[in-house]
Amino acid sequence: MSTPEQELLRRALAVLTSMAPAAIELGEVFKAAGHELALVGGPVRDAFLGRTSNDLDFATSATPDETQELLARWGDAHWDIGKEFGTIGARRFARGTGAQGADVVVEVTTYRSDQYDPASRKPVVAFGDTLDGDLSRRDFTVNAMAVRLPDLTFVDPFDGLTDLARGLLRTPIAPERSFDDDPLRMMRAARFAAQLGFDVDAGTLAAVVAMAGRIDIVSAERVQAELTKLLLADKPRKGLEVLVDTGLADHVLPELPALQLEIDEHHRHKDVYQHSLTVLEQAIAQETGPDGPVPAPDLVLRLAALLHDVGKPATRRFEPGGGVSFHHHEVVGAKLAAKRLKALKYEKQVVKDVSRLVELHLRFHGYGDGAWTDSAVRRYVTDAGPLLERLHRLTRADSTTRNRRKAQRLSDAYTDLEERIEALRAQEEIDAIRPDLDGTQIMQILGIRPGPEVGQAYKHLLGLRMEHGPLGPERAEEELRAWWAARR
Ligand SMILES: Nc1ncnc2c1ncn2[C@@H]1O[C@H](COP(=O)(O)OP(=O)(O)OP(=O)(O)O)[C@@H](O)[C@H]1O
């Protein structure tokens, strides 16, 4: 019989041995120079979860200058952008095959002993002398384990292994002090809950609830980075529930808890919040890589799935005859989503794409029983543009009815729409629809110079192309002349 911890240790040892050659070699380099070196953080935790990594974090007793000198002899490429925080990085290009067939990236950080400065309400970077001291300022016990090198001694001052075996996120020091030092750790609890499927320990969770408002002093960029990692996890629901249940979401993504108030009249779900989490999960199930079934996490799709109904609270109307409506919630939602993502400092393109998907997520429901004209299909494809594939996924994911027949009907209707798109695509260009005549041809035919009329003519021909499909140059010329004559 072996305890879960022993079982984990055995597994970790196998993983560590497989990634050890490069790490052990580095340990020997540091030892020869009289310094301590230990593998820390994510790679140690992941080794216990049976996952190898070629991205290794180390802590050392050496100063940043000493580390830089030692790494110069080990790696093939180096960087020191984190030197101010004690971190020097290096990459060793792949040698050999198998586990050694990939590049190894290392970041070595001088032992830290940051102290919280009550005046600036920020931790001040300081270097320390012990590994235990360094581990004590880490976020969670499962991230505060280390393996000394080159001898592979396991160091676990906060009993992280027990927490790992139980699937618990707990701060090594009192959570109130830890979150005071760096409130971002509260977001990180939600992120690791999503990534690892772990629960947040009761005391740690209570501290998040009590201190949620402190997240406001953290920069939007840092919050965004954690939210993104949370959303890109295989199963983000748990992390999102931590955000909402603790009140953190009221500060970083208030549109999400606001959905809890809404009763969804279309689907028999408790509320729009639960519906949104399910749509996110279903959208994730729809993700495939460009080369087939390898899942490729798609941030834009996931954000759109999570936020697609955020316009509902503001547009809810109770109708006189009973029932509820959310007219134009997609338009309102698109604006709210864009505003929130901008505040979180997401890149412009992400903001634009998510907002557009939110705006278009209902469009398909006008499709009914296949009664769309070719013109409506062209407009759907044109309005979605490069987001068409994602819109397909989002729209399919947005069906959470438990009524199987209704679900099947919706799915069949969407398949029908996709087939209509394919059929039209086989007949004509629909992915980048342009009028039959370009600006130069318009000017030639009408004998006019560049000016607003050319644009108006172009728009008129584009409208006809959308409505009727390709006209051909002759009919396009006739239509152009008729339009010109009518407006004179
Ligand atoms: N804000 C923080 N407060 C305390 N410790 C932190 C903080 N950020 C990082 N750490 C420590 O540094 C390690 C590396 O952080 P990082 O954010 O890279 O996480 P990770 O576990 O390596 O996962 P990933 O590389 O996927 O982000 C963590 O395991 C943790 O020990």
Would you state the pLDDT for residue 268?
42
Residue 345 corresponds to which amino acid? K
What's the pLDDT at 269? Answer: 39
Beta bridge partners of 57: 107
Query: With pLDDT > 90 as the criterion, what percentage of the chain qualifies?
Result: 71
Q: Is 90 helix (H, G, I), strand (E, B) or coil?
A: strand
Pocket of ligand 1 (CB under 6 A): 41-42, 57, 138-139, 143, 182, 184-185
Read off the pLDDT of residues 16-66 as tens digits, 9 standing for 90 and up.
776 667 788 899 999 999 999 999 999 999 989 888 888 899 999 999 999
Helical ranges in 38-101 per DSSP H: 42-48, 64-74
Q: What is the DSSP letter of 130?
A: -
Cα dist from 231 to 285, 306, 399, whole Å:
14, 9, 20
Ligand 1 centroid vs 276 CA: distance in angstroms? 29
Q: 237 alpha carbon to ligand 1 midpoint, in Å?
A: 21
The Å distance, Cα 42 to ligand 1 centre, comes to 7
ipTM attached to this prediction: 0.96
The rounded radius of gyration (Å) of the Cα atoms in the chain is 29
Q: How far apart are CA 348 and CA 95, in angstroms?
A: 39
Domains of the chain: 4-166 (3.30.460.10), 167-252 (1.10.110.30), 262-427 (1.10.3210), 439-487 (no CATH)
Please, what sign has the CA dihedral across residues 18, 42, 350, 301?
positive
Identify the three-state secondary structure at position 232: coil
Q: Quote the ligand 1 centre to 204 CA distance (angstroms).
A: 17
Cα(378)–Cα(273) distance, integer angstroms: 33
Identify which of 165, 205, 166 has the alpha carbon closest to the alpha carbon of residue 186.
205
Task: Say how many Å lie between the CA of residue 178 and the centre of ligand 1.
Answer: 14
pLDDT in tens, 74-124: 889 999 999 999 999 999 888 765 555 688 899 999 999 987 777 776 678
List phi, psi (to 5°) of 316: -65, 130
**Ligand 1 atom at minimum distance from 41 CA:** 29
pLDDT tens track of the chain, all 488 residues?
Answer: 467 777 777 777 777 776 667 788 899 999 999 999 999 999 999 989 888 888 899 999 999 999 999 999 888 999 999 999 999 999 988 876 555 568 889 999 999 998 777 777 667 889 999 999 999 999 999 999 999 998 889 999 999 999 999 999 999 999 999 999 999 999 999 999 999 999 999 999 999 999 999 999 999 999 999 999 999 999 999 999 999 999 999 999 999 999 996 555 554 434 899 999 999 999 999 887 556 666 789 999 999 999 999 999 988 888 887 778 888 999 999 999 999 999 999 999 999 999 999 999 999 887 766 678 899 999 999 999 999 999 999 999 998 888 889 899 889 989 999 999 999 999 988 988 999 999 999 999 999 999 999 999 999 999 999 999 999 999 999 999 999 999 87
| Token pair for 166 | 């139980």
Average per-residue pLDDT for the chain: 90
Closest ligand 1 atom, residue 188 Cα: 1
By alpha-carbon position, which residue is closest to atom 16 of ligand 1? 42
